[in-house]
């Protein structure tokens, strides 16, 4: 029986992680859930996110008997993993800013961390910088709007590179020598804007956690036993949102490209 993996995000940005998970684990049964009812998480309190994610994940595991969860949201991962792991017995993989690999890549010793305001502010993120980036300069931008711009792009809606440039203005205003030569995409939405960000910083290397997460999931699935499945249909990939009322119908094509025929509503 195939193992089941749930990839969860506040929005559809986590599809960038899902594609890597699927690439490294092609035989899994895939579930994707996004909490569009509460999107975006970047401006929500820690208590609200912890309570929300715990309720959604525990309810989903009971209903669909998944073997592993990927929290494909940097904001949620930096605050909810400990609570979630104490409540669930299955492996849970989080996504955190790729500070460590970025430090190994940078040549001018200037790393840019591009994330949500919540991720930039977290003690967890400060710890990553303290542990792995002592010898480099880390410039952080906490952008509240870039995730929404990425959702526009994925929905086929109009957006301009000027919108993105406005969010990255603190770095664009620097001289070339003062700009980061390595940029950490610290939100799973941001890889969907990789082309635009690269155009604004043509000499920078862009780093995200997707590939590492795909490999990590593969290793954990090999080492874990499959939990007992009590339902009949174990082979169908399914996508869920938390509010069909708020669902952008244009996203359906995006999900079909990723192997999901429709988007269902998941209610706690």
- Active-site annotation, residues: 73, 187
Q: 85-98: buried (b, 16+ CB within 10 Å) or exposed (e) per residue? A: eeebebbbbbbbbb
Angle at 258 between CA 256 and CA 261, to 5 degrees: 35
Give me the half-sphere count of Cα atoms (radius 13 Å) on the Cβ side of residue 53: 36
Tokens, residue 167: 């969010």
Other CB atoms within 10 A of residue 246 CB: 11
Q: What is the DSSP string of 7-59?
A: EEESSSTTHHHHHHHHHH-TTSEEEEEE-TTT--GGGS-HHHHHHHHHHHHHH
48/38 Cα distance (integer angstroms): 10
- How big is the chain, counted in residues? 268
Q: Tell me how far apart the terminal alpha carbons of the chain are, to the nearest angstrom.
A: 27
Please report how many Cα atoms fall inside a 13 Å half-sphere around the Cα of residue 223, on the Cβ side. 8
Angle at 228 between CA 223 and CA 231, to 5 degrees: 135
**Residue 58: Cβ within 10 Å count:** 14
Q: Which residue has the tokens 């035989």?
A: 27
């Amino acid at each position: 029986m195939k193992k089941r993996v749930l990839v969860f995000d506040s929005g559809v940005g986590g599809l960038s992680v899902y594609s890597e998970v699927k690439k490294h684990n092609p035989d899994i049964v895939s579930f994707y859930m996004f909490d569009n009812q509460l999107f975006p998480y970047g401006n929500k309190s820690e208590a609200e996110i912890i309570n929300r994610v715990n309720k959604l994940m525990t309810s989903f595991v009971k209903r669909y008997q998944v073997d592993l969860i990927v929290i494909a949201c940097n904001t949620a991962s930096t605050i909810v993993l400990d609570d979630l792991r104490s409540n669930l017995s299955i492996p849970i993989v989080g996504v955190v800013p790729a500070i460590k690999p970025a430090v190994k890549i940078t040549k001018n010793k200037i790393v840019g961390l591009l994330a949500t305001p919540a991720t930039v502010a977290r003690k967890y993120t400060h710890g990553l910088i303290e542990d792995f980036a002592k010898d480099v300069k880390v410039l952080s931008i906490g952008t509240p709007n870039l995730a929404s711009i990425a959702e526009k792009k994925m929905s086929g809606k109009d957006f301009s590179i000027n919108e993105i440039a406005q969010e990255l203005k603190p770095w664009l205003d620097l001289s070339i020598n003062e700009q980061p030569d390595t940029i950490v995409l610290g939100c799973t939405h941001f890889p969907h804007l990789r082309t635009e960000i690269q155009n604004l910083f043509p000499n920078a290397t862009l780093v995200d956690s997707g590939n590492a997460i795909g490999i990590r999931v593969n290793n954990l699935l090999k080492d874990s036993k499959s939990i007992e499945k009590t339902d009949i249909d174990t082979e169908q990939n399914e996508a869920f949102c938390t509010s069909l009322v708020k669902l952008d119908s244009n996203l359906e094509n995006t999900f079909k490209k990723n192997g999901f025929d429709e988007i269902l509503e998941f209610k706690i």
